[in-house]
Amino acid sequence: AQTVTQSQPEMSVQEAETVTLSCTYDTSESDYYLFWYKQPPSRQMILVIRQEAYKQQNATENRFSVNFQKAAKSFSLKISDSQLGDAAMYFCAYRPPTTSGTYKYIFGTGTRLKVLA
Amino acid sequence: DVKVTQSSRYLVKRTGEKVFLECVQDMDHENMFWYRQDPGLGLRLIYFSYDVKMKEKGDIPEGYSVSREKKERFSLILESASTNQTSMYLCASTPGTALANVLTFGAGSRLTVL
């Protein structure tokens, strides 16, 4: 069964510094998608960034980038120049291929990021 | 600009009550999902629907049922609420079957069962 593991329940970062959130996953598939979602306090969960498994190039969205290591099944999120608005719960998610016969997205347990002024 | 709307942000119910959580999306999405979010457990899938009147069990369907009579609406039903169903419930939707599809979430419904 596919699993997603976020081993850091909580992280802190100083404003303007860089922080990396870890995510590992387990799958026997070769074609899939990985996502990082952000859930600010009492607000809606939104997409931060996504990565196609067949692409070797790491995805980047402004201050957010990923380090995708397919062989190691690792998908970490790097936040550069951290801002107070980055404080949130971050979830890593895996989406199996449709050929697997499922539409299920599998989420990790989340990492709470605190940004210190 | 709200695209996935959950009718209730906060609910307080009594044990044994029947509870309806409603979710409506205005994006014409085929797939809709109900997740339960608990601290330390992340998001766990309760049910999902890939078409009108079609549904599949997720990882924790016990104690829940769903209804999807119209494409835009996906309801989660707790037939007889219990205290262990106190949680945050998140509805989400995606279009079609493409791998790239991003989940669009509602704001969540926090249910307390006394």
pLDDT at A92 over 60: yes
Contact list, B110 vs chain A (CB under 8 Å)? none
In the predicted model, what is the mean pLDDT of chain A?
93
pLDDT at A23 over 90: yes
Nearest residue on chain A to B98, judged by CA atoms?
A98
- Sequence-distant (6+) residues with CB within 8 A of A100 are A29
Whole-number Å distance between alpha carbons of A16 and A27:
35
Nearest residue on chain B to A7, judged by CA atoms?
B40
Whole-number Å distance between alpha carbons of A21 and B40:
16
Instruction: Tell if the CB–CB gap between B103 and A43 is shorter than 8 Å.
Output: no
Contact list, A107 vs chain B (CB under 8 Å)? 35, 42-44
Whole-number Å distance between alpha carbons of B13 and B9:
13
Q: What is the rounded average pLDDT of the residues B28-32?
A: 90
- pLDDT tens digits for B35-89? 999 998 999 999 999 889 899 999 999 999 999 999 999 999 999 999 999 999 9
In the block, residue with structure tokens 């120049």: A81
- pLDDT tens digits for A25-70? 999 888 889 999 999 988 899 999 999 998 889 999 999 999 999 9
pLDDT at B100 over 70: no
What pLDDT sits at residue A70?
95
What pLDDT sits at residue B114?
96
Q: What is the rounded average pLDDT of the residues A82-92?
A: 97
